[in-house]
Structures are given as C-alpha cells and as structure tokens.
A and B are shown apart, each in its own frame.
Chain A
C-alpha cells in the first residue's frame, strides 16, 4: 500500500514537471513554426520560459471591483485541472499514473474545467471586456464539446463492438488502435473523426481562429484582460499543460502506435525510443491542429464559430460515427 502510494505521488510529481516543461517547449515550437510560416524570424525556443519567469517577477494586480477569492482561485484551479488530466493520459508506453481510477469520460469532463475556471475568473474580474470574453468562452465550450464527445464515444463504442474489454479505459485505447479493428467504412469514419478532433483542438486551446474569447484586437485579451503577474503566469502554464493534454488525447485516440510494437527494443532503450516517438507525434499534432490552422486563418466571429462547430464539425463527427456503426453492423472489421 505504502509503496503504491509513494509510486503514485512520485508519478504525479514527475507528470507535473513533465507537463509544465513539455507544454512550454510545445509553445516555443509553435511560436517558432508560426513565425517561420509568417516570414518572421520568431522568438527563441525557450521564450515561453522567459515569459513565465518575467510574469512571476511582476506585480499581481487585483482590480478594485473584482471578486478577490474567485479571481485568485481561478488560475490555480485551471492549472490543477490541466495537470490532473495528464495523470489519466499515457505518455509513450508508460501507462497513466492514475489509469485505474478514471477513463476517457473523466478526461472529457476535466478538459472543461480550465475553461470554466477562466470563465469564473473573467466574470470575477469585473471588467466589461472580461465579461464579454467569458460569455464567448461559454458559448465556445458549448459549441465544441458535442463533436469532441461524439468522436470519443463513437470510437469507444466501436472497440466495444469488436469485443474489446473496458473500451473507455485509456489503457485500452492506447493499446488497441481503433484503426486495427475497423474495415474500410470504419477507416473513412475514423478519418472524418480525426478531422473533427483536429478542428476541436484550437477551440479547446483558444487559439486562432477560435481565440474569440481572448480576441486581442477587439477585447484586448478578453477574459484574461485583468490578469497579470503570478495569476497570468498560472493561466499561461495551464494553457501550456492543456496543449500537452489535448495533443496527448489526440495521439492516444488516433496515433497510439509505439516503436516497440514494431522494433524489439528491451528495457530503457525501448522506453526512451517510445518517449521520443511519442514527443514527435505530439509535436505533429500541435503543428497541424494549432500552428498551421492559426497561421492560415482569420479569427471567427462568435456566431461563425457556433455555426462552424455545431454545423460542419458536428456533421463530420456524426458522419464518422455512422460509418463506424455501419462498419460494425455490416461486420466489415473485427466484430465480437
């Protein structure tokens, strides 16, 4: 018991450090890639670390008409929730620290917590910009949650139909690629779901074209407008960790393969090879669904955003789900 507890605590600490560091590195890579695509030189890779260090040195200003307790609690909740998500997600071939205590449904719920914390913080900061930003964030969350849930549930259902035990568990998802159990319609369906998740990622992370709640040019930062110093640093870190979490979820759902499945590497070499391969997969996901999209688009208006996610992306998700169902019903892939 004691040994298990120690392992869990050590694992949690390890995951926290990894989430923070890797999240900031991902931000650095994203900024550099975006800059290069915009014909700029871009900041050095470690710029996000400098930014955090700078924010931590700065004054933590609390507006006079803010609800102080909520205003200060929001960034801590956001960061804590983001890190908690990571505890349920596998890293490379290392299984999740708390894998036995929660499944992908829990992860879906946890993903909404940082957003909700930001909404609470924005509303508590007493600025009209933050209020508009909070309203937009809520609308954005309502808009993208449906396609995300559709994708996850459709895939778990397909695994279930293939007779895989415990399909909602992230361990199962990470060890059984859905691709390997489906036939041709299922593969098309999986591709559609992949498109849906690619578009949900920028909305989940509030990046262009879905940075409507922050909207630098219209709301000067929206729900974060009153945040500064340590609180803003915590929100930035929470965003970085959430990037890791979201990209990891996409990797687990769609690209769960490990090097060691194909090349027999034993011991530490295998673990390291898998971790490197995993990092590459996460980087690719971030590049395609964050950097590439944000470089190529203008910001959505909030009504466009809702139309886009509820209309097009949800439709794509449904189409993918129906194809997966057809795949199972017609017995195209592996069916129990």
Chain B
C-alpha cells in the first residue's frame, strides 16, 4: 500500500459533482484521498461593489439575488442591519410575515438539498421525488409573494405584501401535506440501506473540529453544536414562537457528525419549520406591515442615518451575516456579506481527508455549499488568477479601516 503512487485529480471548476463553480485539487492514492485543497472565487459577481453604488431600498432587492435559494435570508439580514442604523421600527405583523416566508424558504431549501444529496449518491429516484414534493413549498411561496425565486418581499422597514386571512387555508394545506410526507421522507432517506451504507461514518466532523472551524447551521448542529441564530439571538417573530436547535439525536442514537447526521438534522428542521409557521399563523397580530409606505421617506431616513450595524439571520445553510456602515449619504459606506458557506467551507479539508473518491460528491454537498453566495473576492493579477497572502490581506484591511476612519 505504501508504495502506491499518489496522483492528482482536479475536480472543478465545472464538474457534475459540483452545482456551482469551485476548484478542488485532490491527491489520491488508489481510491483514497490523501490531500485536499480548494480554490473558491470562481463565481465572483461583484455584488458588494454594485451595492455600494445604490441606496438601501435598491440593495434589498440586490440581496435577493445573492443566492437563488435563500433570498429572504439575505434581504432580511441586510434590512435588519439598516433598520438598526436608521432606527426604523418594524411593525409587529411584518415580523410574522418575514418569519413565515423564511421558514417556507427553509423547507424548500432543505428539500432541494435532500434531492441533490440523493443525486450525488447516484439515487436519482429519490432526487426526483424530493424535488417533486419541494414544489409544494415553491407554490406557496409564489402564492404569497408572487415569485418562485427572488421573492422581493422583504423591505427596509417591513415587508412589501401582507397576507390576508383567505390565504391561510392554502398555507395550512401545504403544511398538512408536508406533515403527511415527513414519515415517508424519513423512511426513504433515513431507513434506506444503500443510503445508510454510503452516509454513515462518512465525512465525519467532530464536535471540537466543528467548533474550532467556526461552522454554522445544520453542519454545526449535526456535529452536536447547539447553535441557531433563531434561538441564540432571536429576530423577527422567532422570540415569540421559540426555536429549539435540531440535533441529530432526535432520530439517530447519539451524535456522530457524519453525512447521515446532516441528513437527519435537515429533515427534522423541516418538521420544526412546519411548527413555527403554524404558531406564527395563530399568533399573527393585525396591523400594518410597513413602517412607512412612502419610499421617499424611507430613503430620506436612510440618507440621514449614520453608524454601523450587523444583521444576523439563520439561513437554511447557517448564519448569514451582513455588516452595513452608513455615513449620511445615499449609498452605504461599507457593506459586507458573509454567507453561511464561508464559515462552513473550511470543514471540507477535515471531512474529505482519508475518504474515498466515491464519497467526494456527497461529502462536498453535505455542508450544502452555495458558492455564488460565498464568493466575495477573486484575485486576478496580470490576467491570471492569484492568491492573496495573509500579510497582504492584513495590510489591505488596515488600509481600509484607516480609509473608513478618515
């Protein structure tokens, strides 16, 4: 075994195992992974650059387009940051509308992931099934917001559309459908022999590693970290309904931090989301959904605002973090988006080590990566991709801080 040659396999930037561009380089011995490295930055779209040239009302809709799946999470995180700086009070009802949409987004995102995971395992039947039941959540989102993706519902100061009482039966119908399907999904995903065979003890991330690598969301929870922004620092209506972070021991015996546990966490988070939406519908207060209906006034308030704030939201993949700094001008002075994958991606180096080539797709997919959310920078020097060293990054950040303080 020891004298087997080590050879190099590139996976990416475009590869069927990856749903978005990123470049992995693997050192392989036989079928076993000996070394991993990856280079993100292949799908950088200069979102922040565009945002710094627009006003907060426009940026909200730009945020919708950071990610095709967690549109609400980014808009909500950004709006929360701006609302704190400009001291805008969001009406109570708007918080509930935001919560309901955010939870439907979680349901559709987790089901989408479940389908992708099944496809990565070569189990296409389950992929088609998962995506078919996902349509119900998409339909409800379209029914409520008018759009399947890029919902455009969250607005600085509230939401752009209210729910009427006659829309509730449709929501309840969707929730009932999902409640009826949960048992079936659990059987198909968690009791299937071939899935157990491929996912158990695969891509293990220990609790210590999960903590040290600052992982977030389902990836962290599957390793046993009780982390959930919805529970730790409640926003929107989560303080009223209460959220318990889902750990894999709700289903499996103990916490292993493997791919299987990540499936468990995501499936049971769907159950939790159904409960949250139900409670939100029951408790929803009456009243307006927007702090101010006149855009001119929102814009004027934002223009007068000064200060900095962060908005944190528990996106389906984990914590989504927006930092905004405003300084009495139309566009924000600084805007930083940190998507959940940014926090989770370093765990790849740990969980891919020593695994087999066959498990690369499912392990890479198991943290539910979203590269277009994550890619904030791409270094090109002399027309070729380049890498920033630690010192260079430090120097740049010192320069930027000075510039902001000047």
Q: Contact residues of A with B, CB < 8 Å?
A: 37-40, 128-129, 131-132, 135, 208-209, 211-212, 215-220, 295-304
Contacts and interface: CB of A to CB of B under 8 A. Distances in A.
Given A128-B8, A218-B17, A295 B125 contact: yes
Given A218-B360, A220-B16, A297 B123 contact: yes
B118 interface: yes
A209 B119 CA distance: 12
B194 interface: yes
B361 interface: yes
Nearest to B18: A217
Residue in B356, B357, B358 whose Cβ sees the most chain A Cβ within 10 Å: B358
Given A132-B31, A218-B17, A299-B358, A211 B129 contact: no
Contact of A38 (B8, B124, B198): B124
Nearest first, the 8 A-B pairs at minimum CB distance are A299-B122, A298-B123, A298-B194, A298-B121, A301-B358, A38-B128, A217-B361, A38-B125
B194 A209 contact: yes
B194 A297 contact: yes
Given A37-B125, A132-B357, A216-B16, A302 B31 contact: yes
B132 interface: yes
Interface of B: 7-10, 15-17, 28, 31, 118-126, 128-129, 132, 192, 194-195, 197-198, 356-361
A220 B128 CA distance: 20
29 contacts: A37-B125, A39-B129, A40-B128, A128-B8, A128-B9, A132-B9, A132-B31, A132-B357, A209-B194, A215-B122, A217-B17, A217-B119, A218-B357, A297-B123, A298-B118, A298-B123, A298-B126, A298-B192, A298-B194, A298-B195, A298-B197, A299-B122, A299-B358, A300-B194, A301-B197, A301-B356, A301-B358, A303-B356, A304-B197
Nearest to A297: B194
A39 B132 CA distance: 8
A220 B17 CA distance: 8
A217 B16 contact: yes
Given A296-B125, A301-B358, 9 more contacts: A39-B128, A132-B31, A208-B124, A212-B358, A217-B122, A298-B194, A299-B358, A301-B198, A304-B197
Contact of B121 (A38, A219, A299): A299
A131 B357 CA distance: 13
B358 A302 contact: yes
Contacts of A220: 15-17
Contacts of B120: 217
Contacts of B194: 209, 297-298, 300
B125 to A, nearest CB: 5
A168 B358 CA distance: 39
Contacts of A296: 125
A38 B188 CA distance: 13
Contacts of A211: 122
B357 A219 contact: yes
Contacts of B7: 128, 131
B358 A218 contact: yes
Contacts of A217: 16-17, 119-120, 122, 361
Contacts of A298: 118, 121-123, 126, 192, 194-195, 197-198
B29 to A, nearest CB: 12
Nearest to B118: A298
A148 B197 CA distance: 25
Nearest to B131: A39
Contacts of B198: 298-299, 301, 304
Nearest to B198: A298
Contacts of A129: 9
Contacts of B8: 128
A37 B128 CA distance: 10
Contact of A208 (B15, B122, B359): B122
Contacts of B357: 132, 218-219
Contacts of B124: 38, 208, 295
Contacts of A295: 124-125
B361 A218 contact: yes
B266 to A, nearest CB: 17
A224 B368 CA distance: 29
Interface-central residue, A39, A216, A217, by most chain B CB under 10 Å: A217
Nearest to B202: A301
| B7, B118, B192, B197: most-surrounded residue (chain A CB, <10 A) | B197
A37 B127 CA distance: 12
A211 B121 CA distance: 11
Nearest to B365: A217
